[in-house]
Structure 1
Amino acid sequence: MAGFYINQHVLNNLFYILVTVFAFSFIYDHSAAIQRKPLYSRALLAVCMALASVLCMKFPIYVDPTCIHDFRQIPFLLGTLYGGSAVGAVLFAVSMLARTILYGFQPLTVVVYAIMFVAASAVSPLFQRLPRPAKLFTTLWLTFLLAVLTTFVAIIIADFPVTKPYIVYFILMPPFVMMFAAYVMETLHEAQLARVELMKMEKMEIVSQLAASISHEIRNPLTVVKGFIQLLQTRPMPRETEERYIRIASEEVERAEAIIHDYLTFAKPAPKKTEPIDVAVELQRVIQMIQPLAHMHSIEISSSLKHGVVIGNVQYFQQCFLNLAKNSIEAMPDGGRLHISAHRQGGAVVITIVDNGIGMTKEQVRRFGEPYFSTKEKGTGLGTMVAVKIIEQMGGTWTIESAVQKGTTLTVTLPAGRVQPPASEQSAAG
């Protein structure tokens, strides 16, 4: 008997309800305007539930000469309970209009759904404050009691015949379908809240990591500076020793200043001023800036730079690749070779930085760009983090190929701008 009543039409009605519930959740989750304004969310709920009601009526479960059986009351009650009387009024009007257009006007139907509307609207304010288990319990018993109540009203007013299909499709099945639909809505809503909380926790984790990194790294040079100042104040010493102490203290202050600069570059918002950037020209300038550091580490720099234009902030572009090139140089403490190349590839500009330094493990590659992570003994990871953020702000992506003691290849892909350099300038090499 159960197999007879749970047929394709029942599953179709359930499908219409669940699809519109998922549609509401998806649109709500991806629209900041709807999330900010309750009026918009209620309007969206009314549209989705009205669509489900109309589909249930258009493709009913069972039709007999006296009554049409479907699950239209499920989206009607859902919308009224979650959206309040305003949503319920819209659903009532749409349901009655659709019922008249599809099957003709029936006064009894108006009376039945008017009772449902009044009851659900009265319960709605309390319902919305209930915890999830209580909401599910309420939907089950409210739907069942309304079905029984409206059945008695129909019998009194119109001597309505109660058949087995009516009992199954209007009284017994809907409470469980209603509870299941409410369970889905609650689950989707809790998933949205959990995702928001997770994003907040991730942001707080980054902030705490940055704070720990800054605190730790700045405390060290300040401790050194304080120690040397105390030494200079305690007793007389040769001029050469004083100069050496002052030089070391000055270097530590510069180190603290560099850490703060990296942090501020990461923390400040994306620059509003953007312009076309010729990657060949700017990368050549970066190479010139790091050339002295490369000589100090016995590193040979070569380049193969093709002209290409990207859109961004010139200062941040230089900062990004200066940090990345500096990382490569510091990864070759015993000297080596650094090669920087750039070329157009379809609608993008590809920039590659290759070194034959100490390389990275798979775990180090995975954590590349994370705050408070560095492969260097005295590194903070802020320089790499700044570079990664700048690449993302420009709409770019990056990949790393690395092997321990063999070297690292970093590939940055940036979207090409529409403005192109002169045709006579096709390549630059350093």
Structure 2
Amino acid sequence: MAGLYINQHVLNNLFYILVTVFAFSFIYDHSPAIQRKPLYNRALLSTCLALASVLCMKFPIYIDPTCIHDFRQIPFLLGTLYGGGGVGAVLFVVSMLARTILYGFQPLTLIVYAIMLVAAAAASPLFRRLPRSGKLFTAIWLTFLLAVLTTFVAIIIADFPVTKPYIVYFILMPPFVMMFAVYLMETLHEAQLARAELMKMEKMEIVSQLAASISHEIRNPLTVVKGFIQLLQTGPLPRETEERYIRIALEEVKRAEAIIHDYLTFAKPAPKETEPIDVAVELQKVLQMIAPMAHMHSVDLASSLEHAVVTGNVQYFQQCFLNLFKNSIEAMPNGGTLRVTAENRETSVVITISDNGIGMTKEQVRRFGEPYFSTKEKGTGLGAMVAVKIIEQMGGTWKIESAVQKGTTVTITLPARRVRPPSAQQSTAG
């Protein structure tokens, strides 16, 4: 019996409705403008469901040689319940025009759908406030009652013949199709809300991790400063002792300032001022800045730098690689060699930073650049986090290869500019 009534034409009508519902959800999910403006939302809903109505009419369900039917009332009721009377009016006009163009004008059709419009528009405000179960219940019974009511109207006005296939396709089957369409709309909407909530929670988690990291790291130097100021207040001290206390306090203040600077670099937007950067020249400057620290840790510096041009902020570029070089040097507590290479590949610049230090585990590699994660006992993870953000702001990518007690290699790929820097000379090696 089911096979007798669920034929290819029925499945086609269902397909048109489901595809347009998915299309509405997909476009809505990927368009912030539609999400922000209810007018755009209603316009999209009207367009998608009007298309479904027209397709259902164009490719109807053939009941018998003298009667055809379709599921156009499903997108019509769906749009009116979710979008209100405005969307319902648009769908009503489109349906009547399409009906007239395809099959000619029929006053009875006009009356039937006018009754559906008034009833669905009146129920729409309450329907939209209901939970999912309430919407499903309302959709089933409203569709069924409207089908029965309009059938009686058709019998009274036009002495409409009610056949068994008509009862199945117009009265019994549409409520279940409507229930399925509402369930799909609710499921897609809840998935969108869940994803938005998940993104919000992830952002809040990052903020909480950063706040915990900053408060923890700043508390230490401030505690030291407070202690030495209290010592200075205890009474007269030798000049040399006072100067030593003040020097230590100033060093701790500078350390707190550096932590705040790293945090602000990560938190604030990318600078609008960008310029061509000669990779070889700027990396050489950073190597010169880091040379005293490398000497203190018995680390040799080796570089092979080809001239190439990238676009970015020079200050941030230097800070990015200063942080990465410092990480590599600190990963070699017993000394070693820090190798830096820059290769010009015309469309990209590949910068490689290698050390033969303590290396990282797979888990540490995976978490590299996360806030509040560091392989160092007293590290904050802010340096790596800032470096990763700057690389991404420049449109670049990064990759880490590491093995415990064997060393780490960081490979950064940045998009290259075609114009060569005026200062380009021969490759720098050191």
TM-score of the superposed pair, with normalisation by structure 1: 0.96
Report the equivalent of 1:394: 394
Report the equivalent of 1:37: 37
Listed one character per residue, the Cα deviations across residues 229-274 of structure 1 (whole Å, up to 9, x for unaligned) are 2223325555444443333222212111111111111111111111
Listed one character per residue, the Cα deviations across residues 359-415 of structure 1 (whole Å, up to 9, x for unaligned) are 111111111111111111111111111111111111222111111111111111222
Report the equivalent of 2:7: 7
Report the equivalent of 1:124: 124
Three-state SS of the structure 2 residue aligned to 1:409 is strand
Q: What is the CA–CA distance in structure 1 between the aligned matches of 2:171 and 2:426, rounded to whole Å?
A: 77
Listed one character per residue, the Cα deviations across residues 269-323 of structure 1 (whole Å, up to 9, x for unaligned) are 1111112222122111111111111111111111122222222111111111111
Report the equivalent of 2:146: 146
Report the equivalent of 1:199: 199
Q: What is the CA–CA distance in structure 1 between the aligned matches of 2:156 and 2:213, rounded to whole Å?
A: 76
Matches within 5 A, 1:177-196: 177-196=177-196
Q: Percent identity?
A: 86
Report the equivalent of 1:381: 381
Report the equivalent of 1:368: 368
Matches within 5 A, 1:53-72: 53-72=53-72
Q: What is the CA–CA distance in structure 2 between the aligned matches of 1:347 and 1:163, rounded to whole Å?
A: 72
Equivalent AA in structure 1 for residue 165 of structure 2:
P
Q: What is the CA–CA distance in structure 2 between the aligned matches of 1:422 and 1:314, rounded to whole Å?
A: 16
Report the equivalent of 1:336: 336
Matched length: 430
Report the equivalent of 1:350: 350
Q: Which runs of 5+ in 2 are unaligned?
A: none
Q: What is the CA–CA distance in structure 1 between the aligned matches of 2:159 and 2:69, rounded to whole Å?
A: 17
Report the equivalent of 2:176: 176
Report the equivalent of 1:298: 298
Sort the Cα spacing of 1:386 and 1:108 in 2 relative to 1 into closer, same or farther, 3 A.
same
RMSD after superposition = 1.7
Q: What is the CA–CA distance in structure 2 between the aligned matches of 1:383 and 1:346, rounded to whole Å?
A: 29
Three-state SS of the structure 2 residue aligned to 1:270 is coil
Report the equivalent of 2:308: 308
Three-state SS of the structure 2 residue aligned to 1:111 is helix
Q: Does 1:134 align with 2:134?
A: yes
Report the equivalent of 2:155: 155
Bigger Cα displacement from structure 2, 254-263 vs 1-10: 1-10
Q: Post-superposition shift, 1:68?
A: 2.2
Report the equivalent of 1:265: 265
Equivalent AA in structure 1 for residue 47 of structure 2:
V
Q: Which runs of 5+ in 1 are unaligned?
A: none
**Contact 2:63–2:165 under 8 Å retained in 1:** no
Q: What is the CA–CA distance in structure 1 between the aligned matches of 2:418 and 2:124, rounded to whole Å?
A: 55
Listed one character per residue, the Cα deviations across residues 151-181 of structure 1 (whole Å, up to 9, x for unaligned) are 1111111111112221111111111111111
Q: Post-superposition shift, 1:203?
A: 1.4
Report the equivalent of 2:47: 47
Three-state SS of the structure 1 residue aligned to 2:233 is helix
Q: What is the CA–CA distance in structure 1 between the aligned matches of 2:345 and 2:104, rounded to whole Å?
A: 64
Matches within 5 A, 1:14-25: 14-25=14-25
Q: Post-superposition shift, 1:420?
A: 3.3
**Contact 2:21–2:48 under 8 Å retained in 1:** yes
Q: Post-superposition shift, 1:426?
A: 6.2
Q: What is the CA–CA distance in structure 1 between the aligned matches of 2:313 and 2:415, rounded to whole Å?
A: 14
Q: Does 1:88 align with 2:88?
A: yes
Q: What is the CA–CA distance in structure 2 between the aligned matches of 1:73 and 1:278, rounded to whole Å?
A: 66
Report the equivalent of 1:317: 317
Three-state SS of the structure 2 residue aligned to 1:68 is strand
Q: What is the CA–CA distance in structure 1 between the aligned matches of 2:311 and 2:162, rounded to whole Å?
A: 72
